[in-house]
């Protein structure tokens, strides 16, 4: 079956995703006068970037001395030396101009008394190569991401970016070794649309929904990485997934690290600030992997609150004025979801699955690369949380994602502009949408089969319990077997809603397939890596092993087990050292 002519579109540039990464890329292209389509399954301002609370870092030095070299060092050390240092240098240098450009676009940052952008502390950001915490995170109260998204969206409208809201991208068109566009499913009526384009950016965000307790929005299901994986592109460093220490108990909604940046404490059942034992210098401002593990250990040794599986985040000493001015949203979450008054009571918290360090491999121009030699796939780009450039290595520092999505979203837009000037809109076969249309139809009309909700719940549980903060060879084998079994059952998945109009049941089932692919690559990469580094902690291999493992993993999809390959880490300034805080 061919897609009707009116549903075939041509654009010099197509962007999948309207979070911070996608919007900034679109803005760069539109400013160059390039007709750009942004396809997004959510209304743009509902993208997860809008949920980011704490801040965006740049070594502006508005309160105290700071330098991009210090920021670069912290990023490399925070990532347990798996960071590509050429990329970290780009991040730390360009962070400064990027934040200033946001300011010039009108983003309402909090201000210092003399009118500069205000800055606060965040975990792992230090002065003078690790001496003590530094104030590097710029913020708009605890709604920084919301303000970024609104500001960029307004700019995109101003420059005439074409938005296709509620278009769910369901396939990439890659033929003859080059990018030719995407296939999208229009949520309103279930029609397939083909977008022909020589340049496509994947900016689809994370995949935290593969875990039971997560801070991630419902839509974060790894669509971009899974679609790339299905087209033979490897997924890089998937074993590194970050658990954020302070999620609301049981539901995982995030209480930003800004709470600790403003001076909040973590306490165990005895009321002790237990981080003294684990990160004596930085305490509650140690990196997230270290703090999440410390919390689990406290709980395991019986020092969780009342013997339970959580600890306390204590803000009571900060006082009403600070809490109301700088942490209004997250304290409201504690009131609404927990019935706790953070001004007078400690808040129960536990680690929550938060951020994917791994993803689609790219170079520093955000071009997707497909092998150990960093060979670029012409016309395909990735930026933001779905990409792995890799600036976060084995563990990301707080506030380094918002800056990553903007710095590399901007670079993607600029390189795409160069690419489309040299390449016209490509041809695609008339029946290019057929394979994915047939897959969706089979899913929509299967008369009997497995309930996708059950598969999703089982996946989230096994990932949380067997491939979470702590892992062992045995737990990972168990996880792998379950994921394989779930993939098998997924082939027979059946949805309840048979309609074509706003069939979210169908799309959620489709997204479950993406989560299963991401989970498969994650578990396989974690099984292979017999060391502990950053967010990947193997109890059976508790040491970091630079001789064997100072390398990035690449998981390739096959008919059976994913194939693992490895590529070197770029080291330009800082030789790997043991990581102490």
Ligand X SMILES: Cc1cc2nc3c(=O)[nH]c(=O)nc-3n(C[C@H](O)[C@H](O)[C@H](O)COP(=O)(O)OP(=O)(O)OC[C@H]3O[C@@H](n4cnc5c(N)ncnc54)[C@H](O)[C@@H]3O)c2cc1C
In the bound state with ligand X, the residue whose beta carbon lies nearer, of 203 and 420, is 203
In the bound state with ligand X, the residue whose beta carbon lies nearer, of 210 and 386, is 386
Q: How far is CA 532 from CA 32, 115, 539, 568, in A?
A: 45, 44, 8, 17
Torsion sign across C-alpha atoms 83, 86, 92, 96: negative
Question: Tokens for 213?
Answer: 């307790």
- 387 forms beta bridges with 360
CB 475 within 8 A of CB 467: yes
Tell me how far, at minimum, the Cβ of 42 lies from ligand X, in Å.
4
Residues at the contact surface with ligand X, assessed by CB under 6 A: 16-22, 39-42, 47-49, 51-56, 144-145, 168-169, 203-206, 215-216, 219, 223, 254, 256, 355, 384-386, 399-402, 405
CA distance 485 to 514: 15
If you count them, how many residues does the chain have?
581
Catalytic, 396? Answer no
Pairing of strands 311-314, 367-369: unpaired
In the bound state with ligand X, the residue whose beta carbon lies nearer, of 40 and 150, is 40
Task: Quickly list H helices, 187-319.
Answer: 223-230, 258-261, 275-278, 288-300
CA distance 575 to 186: 49
CA R_g for the chain: 23
CA distance 300 to 298: 5
In the bound state with ligand X, the residue whose beta carbon lies nearer, of 49 and 475, is 49
Tell me how far, at minimum, the Cβ of 54 lies from ligand X, in Å.
3
Tell me how far, at minimum, the Cβ of 144 lies from ligand X, in Å.
6
Tell me how far, at minimum, the Cβ of 375 lies from ligand X, in Å.
24
Continuous segment of H or E residues that includes residue 436: helix 434-445
Q: How far is CA 3 from CA 194, 298, 316, in A?
A: 7, 58, 60
Tell me how far, at minimum, the Cβ of 417 lies from ligand X, in Å.
19
Tell me how far, at minimum, the Cβ of 57 lies from ligand X, in Å.
7
CA dihedral 403, 405, 411, 412 (to 10 degrees): 180
In the bound state with ligand X, the residue whose beta carbon lies nearer, of 169 and 313, is 169
CA distance 254 to 217: 11
In the bound state with ligand X, the residue whose beta carbon lies nearer, of 220 and 495, is 220
Question: Tokens for 128?
Answer: 């003078």
In the bound state with ligand X, the residue whose beta carbon lies nearer, of 261 and 304, is 261
Question: How many other CB atoms are there within 10 angstroms of residue 175's CB atom?
Answer: 13
Strands of the sheet containing 376-382, edge to edge, are: 162-165, 36-40, 13-16, 199-202, 376-382, 367-369
**Which is nearest to 409 in space by CA: 428, 436, 423, 391?**
391
Tell me how far, at minimum, the Cβ of 182 lies from ligand X, in Å.
8
- The tally of CA atoms less than 13 A away on the side-chain side of residue 66 is 27
DSSP type of residue 334: I
Pairing of strands 360-361, 387-388: parallel
In the bound state with ligand X, the residue whose beta carbon lies nearer, of 21 and 27, is 21
Q: Of the residues 136, 212, 288, 471, which is catalytic?
A: 288
CB 318 within 8 A of CB 263: yes
In the bound state with ligand X, the residue whose beta carbon lies nearer, of 288 and 538, is 288
Tell me how far, at minimum, the Cβ of 549 lies from ligand X, in Å.
25
Q: With helix as H, strand as E and coil as C, how does 508-550 read? A: HHHHHHHHHHHHHHHHHHHHHCCCCECCECECCECCCCHHHHC
CB 38 within 8 A of CB 15: yes
- What residues are labeled active site? 288
């Amino acid at each position: 079956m061919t897609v009707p002519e009116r549903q075939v579109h041509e654009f010099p540039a197509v962007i999948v995703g309207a979070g911070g990464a996608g919007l900034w890329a679109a803005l760069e292209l539109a400013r160059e006068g390039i007709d750009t389509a942004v396809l997004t399954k959510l209304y743009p301002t509902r993208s997860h970037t809008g949920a980011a609370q704490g801040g965006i870092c740049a070594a502006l030095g508005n309160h105290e001395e700071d330098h991009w070299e210090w920021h670069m060092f912290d990023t490399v050390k925070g990532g347990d030396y798996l960071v590509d240092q050429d990329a970290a240098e780009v991040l730390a240098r360009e962070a400064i101009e990027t934040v200033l450009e946001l300011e010039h676009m009108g983003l309402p940052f909090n201000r210092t008394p003399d009118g500069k952008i205000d800055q606060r502390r965040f975990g792992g950001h230090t002065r003078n190569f690790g001496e003590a915490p530094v104030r590097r995170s710029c913020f708009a109260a605890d709604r920084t991401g919301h303000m970024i998204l609104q500001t960029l969206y307004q700019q995109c409208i101003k420059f005439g970016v074409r938005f296709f809201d509620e278009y769910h991208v369901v396939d990439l068109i890659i033929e003859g070794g080059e990018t030719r566009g995407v296939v999208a499913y229009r949520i309103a009526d279930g029609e397939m649309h083909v977008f022909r384009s020589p340049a496509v950016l994947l900016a689809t965000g994370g995949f935290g929904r593969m875990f039971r307790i997560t801070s991630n929005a419902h839509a974060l299901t790894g669509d971009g990485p899974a679609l790339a994986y299905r087209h033979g592109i490897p997924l890089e460093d998937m074993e590194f997934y970050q658990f954020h220490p302070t999620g609301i108990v049981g539901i995982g909604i995030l209480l930003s690290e800004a709470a600790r940046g403003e001076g909040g404490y973590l306490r165990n059942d005895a009321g002790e600030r237990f981080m003294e034992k684990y990160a004596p210098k930085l305490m509650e401002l140690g990196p997230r992997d270290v703090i999440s593990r410390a919390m689990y250990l406290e709980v395991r040794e019986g020092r969780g609150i009342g013997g339970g599986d959580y600890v306390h985040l204590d803000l009571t000493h900060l006082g009403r004025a600070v809490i109301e001015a700088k942490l209004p949203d997250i304290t409201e979450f504690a009131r609404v979801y927990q019935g706790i008054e953070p001004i007078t009571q400690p808040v129960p918290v536990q680690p929550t699955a938060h951020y994917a360090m791994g993803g689609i491999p790219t170079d520093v121009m955000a071009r997707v690369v497909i092998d150990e030699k960093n060979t670029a796939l012409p016309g395909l780009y990735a930026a933001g949380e779905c990409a792995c450039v890799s600036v976060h290595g084995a563990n990301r520092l707080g506030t380094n994602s918002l800056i990553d999505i903007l710095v590399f979203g901007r670079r993607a837009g600029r390189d795409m502009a160069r690419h489309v000037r040299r390449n016209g809109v490509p041809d695609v076969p008339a029946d290019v949408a057929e394979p994915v249309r047939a897959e969706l139809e089979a899913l929509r009309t299967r008369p009997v089969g497995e309930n996708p909700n059950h598969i999703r719940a089982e996946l989230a549980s096994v990932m949380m319990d067997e491939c979470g903060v702590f892992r062992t060879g045995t737990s990972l084998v168990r996880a792998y077997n379950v994921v394989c079994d779930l993939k098998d059952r997924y082939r027979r998945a059946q949805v309840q809603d048979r309609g074509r109009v706003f069939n979210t049941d169908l799309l959620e089932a489709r997204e479950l397939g993406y989560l299963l692919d991401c989970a498969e690559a994650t578990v396989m990469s974690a099984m292979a890596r017999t060391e502990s580094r950053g967010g990947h902690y193997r109890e059976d291999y508790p040491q970091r092993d630079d001789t064997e493992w100072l390398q990035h993993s690449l998981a390739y999809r096959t008919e059976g087990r994913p194939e693992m390959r490895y590529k070197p880490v770029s080291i330009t300034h800082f030789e790997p050292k043991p990581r102490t805080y």
